[in-house]
Amino acid sequence: MKHVFLPETIEDAQAWLRERLAAQQPFAVRGANSRFHPQEIPPGPPFPKGGDEVATPEILSTAKLTRTNFFDPDDMVVGVEAGMTVAALQALLAEQGMVLPVNPWFAESTIGAAFACNDNGPNRLNMGGFRDCVIGIEYLNGNGERVHAGGKVVKNVSGYDLCRMQIGSLGGLGVITALNFKVMPQPVAPHGLYGHFPDSTWQQRVAELHSARIPVDWIQAFAPAESGSMDWLLGIGFSGNAARQQRIEREIQTIYRGDLQLVAAGETPLGLSFLPGTDRFTGWVPKLRQLWKLPAQHLHLMTLLTTSAALHPTHLESIRSEQTRMVVHPIGADLHCFLDSEDATTQREFIASLQPMLRQMQAKLVLGNAASAIGYSDLGEFAQPPGYALVQRLKRHLDPAGVFHAPFYEQPST
């Protein structure tokens, strides 16, 4: 049985980490446990506390580190502890008409976990991701020290970028305890255009839109659009005053031959409530899970692509089927594949079926959800980003005792 330690202060977390370092006992870092964690934590001896041998917690959760360190709406900066949920942070910012322009997958995720997983989504196209917003970080390192990097103001600095180093680190390089971000005003009167497409026509037109540099906020396509259909449903979001909206809508409709339907902010057309409106700032994955009625241990893979690969007319068609659900953010780009089977063998076969396409596109995989028997080792070479051997060296340097358990770093280099 796993034990979870929930420190209420950063000092408590630091003291507990130092005890684990002394005992050389591995543990995993978690937020609110809102997403999938594939591998078991390696066994280790119990460590003595107060002279008595006790079962050691195997997980350090930051879920109770929820303090707001500062919020300056005039300077558009905010600093919070890592355990604050995405929903709570966005609600805090919304009181002053602000938003953190990132796309976490789940509203109940802690902001530290979303940062460590490098969640991204529809509006990375125009607003960027965590790397574009973070200005400061505090974390506990592999020596039990409390490290501060960056600050409270937006400025360029030289030297090692310790803030961005922790993005996507999956808890393997330290315990993130606090983050500072630059924020922005909420989009003005956001609108969306939506349309159904039976084939890859939508990709060709997105390529035209991208070439025309039309200032849209986000683009998302997914299939199947509805049960029993193989159609793609494409959404394009934009915002601004009335004149700007009319101009952007006119330019988009010219490219799409008037085939798209306009939806204003606050409206929820029948059958479209799961598309990313302002919900993209608090968690865009759950509504799709609900739409497709995915079971708890469904397979969710994110494939990192180039824009040209995502817009190639044959790549996505080669893996489209009645069993596969796909979400594409074509400018950036990333492809999310969902499989509703909970069977580990079926999931491994599906992963293997993607390999020809992945090699052709020189793409990589990120594991979002899977059966309990599936882990990063099942992704093989496709889980390893460029420079993976260097990433492993960095892990060994920053975690010399090997206590920050994260399976991503434990694959054999190819």
Instruction: Summarize pLDDT for 72-107 with one digit per residue, the tens.
Output: 999 999 999 999 999 999 999 999 999 999 999 999
Mapped onto helix, strand or coil, the DSSP state of residue 21 is helix
Residue with the larger pLDDT of the pair 256 and 43:
256
Confidence of residue 225 (pLDDT cuts 50, 70, 90): low
- Position 47 pLDDT exceeds 60: no
List Cβ neighbours of 71 (8 Å cut-off, separation of 6 or more): 77, 78, 79, 92, 93, 96
Structure tokens at 220: 């998302």
Helix (H) or strand (E) holding 327, with range, is strand 324-329
- pLDDT on residue 69: 98
Average pLDDT of the segment spanning 245-253: 95
- pLDDT on residue 54: 40
Confidence of residue 327 (pLDDT cuts 50, 70, 90): very high
- pLDDT on residue 2: 65
For residue 275, which phi and psi values (nearest 5 degrees)? -75, 155
- Position 51 pLDDT exceeds 70: no
Instruction: Summarize pLDDT for 282-321 with one digit per residue, the tens.
Output: 888 988 888 889 999 999 999 888 888 888 878 887 777 7
Q: What is the CATH topology of the domain spanning 191-382?
A: Vanillyl-alcohol Oxidase; Chain A, domain 3 (3.40.462)
- Position 59 pLDDT exceeds 60: yes
Confidence of residue 46 (pLDDT cuts 50, 70, 90): very low
Confidence of residue 346 (pLDDT cuts 50, 70, 90): very high
Mean pLDDT of the chain: 86
- Position 332 pLDDT exceeds 90: no
Residue with the larger pLDDT of the pair 120 and 48:
120
Note the pTM of the prediction, 2 decimals: 0.89
Instruction: Summarize pLDDT for 28-43 with one digit per residue, the tens.
Output: 999 988 775 444 444 4
Confidence of residue 270 (pLDDT cuts 50, 70, 90): low
- Give Cα separations from 25 to 21, 60, 401 (angstroms): 7, 12, 9
361 near 355, Cβ under 8 Å? no
- pLDDT on residue 157: 55
Instruction: Summarize pLDDT for 151-177 with one digit per residue, the tens.
Output: 887 665 555 577 888 999 999 999 999
Helix (H) or strand (E) holding 54, with range, is strand 52-54
- Give Cα separations from 7 to 14, 68, 338 (angstroms): 9, 16, 35
Confidence of residue 356 (pLDDT cuts 50, 70, 90): confident
180 near 151, Cβ under 8 Å? yes
Q: For the beta carbon of residue 350, count every other beta carbon within 10 angstroms.
A: 18
- pLDDT on residue 414: 64
Confidence of residue 229 (pLDDT cuts 50, 70, 90): confident
DSSP E strand stretches across 94-243:
98-99, 134-140, 146-150, 175-182, 184-185, 191-197, 218-223, 232-238
**Amino acid symbol at 138:** E
Q: What angle do CA 233, 239, 243 make, to 5 degrees?
A: 120
Q: How far apart are CA 393 and CA 123, in angstroms?
A: 33
- Position 142 pLDDT exceeds 90: yes
- pLDDT on residue 56: 46
**CB burial of residue 250 (10 Å; 0-12, 13-18, 19+):** exposed
